[in-house]
Amino acid sequence: MTLRSKRKTDLIVHSISYTLLIAFSIIMIMPFVWMILSTFKDQSELMRFPPKFLPDKFSLKNYVEVFSSVPFLRYYLNSILITTVAVTLTLLTSSLAGFAFAKYKFKGRNTIFKTLLGAMMIPFPVTIIPLYIMIYNLGLVDTYLALIVTGSVSIFGIFLMRQFIVTIPDDLIDAARIDGCSEFQIFRIIVIPNIRAPLSALAIFSFMATWNAFLWPLLVVNNDEHRTVQLGVQYFTQRYGDLMHLQITAAAMAVIPIVVLYLLLQKQFIEGITMTGLKG
């Protein structure tokens, strides 16, 4: 095969591959685009048959009705507060524990780490009852702490950080110790800058898990003061089940923050997923 024919074959293969990727991407993203556009339609326009892709007139009326019908802004602020604190604690605890498991030698290190990995196999519903009893005995039911503490430590996050920190050369850390750096300075100056990509990936995973949490908040929250946005959507559906246009708007408002976060951190997210676990 000549060089010219090889280039022509590669061009055809690449063209077909990109065409298929673009087609599948459009198919996958279309339901989300349809949902967003539906938030600008009224009830009659949404139920029209045959349906129209674009609304006749773009209006924010649905969003105004959602915020005025239930304290949705309160739910939003609650979710932002709980998610921000929980994700920050998850990143801190996961990176510190991952650093310890990757770079420190202590008795029982491998046993403890394997035990943690085994705990990942336990489904969350199995732990709900004992966890609720603990929260109840501590007097934390119907508080922000009940929603934060359960999401402040991630075994998957510890595993993710450990796998990446292992790839940092020991000589670099030893050189920092010789220069007089404390262990926390080594963590802050050397480790953190080298794990930004997996931290971004973990931030997205933790954000999604905390933001989308439904079962646990449903158990420990009883009033509007601490209700999260996911509970708000369910509560809104119960009260306005016949108003499809408002239900879609409330659901879209619950999904948009996750999409925005991913768009902001997608580069670091992809890098963290592809590079993590190459060694260890």
Do both 107 and 32 map to the same domain? no
Per DSSP, helices labelled H in 104-169 are: 109-119, 124-137, 144-148, 155-165
Q: What is the DSSP letter of 9?
A: H
Low-confidence ranges of the chain (pLDDT < 70): 1-4, 241, 268-280
Q: Are 158 and 276 in contact (CB under 8 A)?
A: no
Do both 192 and 269 map to the same domain? yes
Model pLDDT, residue 89: 94
Do both 152 and 264 map to the same domain? yes
Assess if residue 255 is contained within a domain.
yes
Helix 229-239 vs helix 244-275: crossing angle, to nearest 10 = 160
Nearest to 87 by CA among 217, 255, 212, 188: 212
Assess if residue 80 is contained within a domain.
yes
Do both 14 and 70 map to the same domain? no
**Beta-sheet strands, E only, within 17-160:** none
How many domains, the chain? 2
Assess if residue 54 is contained within a domain.
no
Do both 260 and 179 map to the same domain? yes
Assess if residue 149 is contained within a domain.
yes
Do both 197 and 97 map to the same domain? yes
Q: Cβ–Cβ contacts within 10 Å for residue 60, how many?
A: 10
Assess if residue 71 is contained within a domain.
yes
The domain of 26 spans 3-38
Model pLDDT, residue 280: 42
Nearest to 252 by CA among 28, 61, 34: 34
102-111 — which CB contacts under 8 Å span 24+ positions? Answer: 102/161, 102/162, 102/165, 102/166, 102/168, 102/280, 103/165, 103/168, 103/170, 103/173
- Residues in the chain, total: 280
Assess if residue 56 is contained within a domain.
no
Model pLDDT, residue 92: 93
Assess if residue 145 is contained within a domain.
yes
Model pLDDT, residue 273: 60
Do both 106 and 21 map to the same domain? no
Tokens of 43: 């009830």
Do both 167 and 86 map to the same domain? yes
Do both 69 and 23 map to the same domain? no
Nearest to 276 by CA among 171, 207, 197, 188: 197
Do both 76 and 188 map to the same domain? yes
Assess if residue 280 is contained within a domain.
no
Do both 100 and 210 map to the same domain? yes
Do both 126 and 237 map to the same domain? yes
Domain CATH for 249:
1.10.3720.10
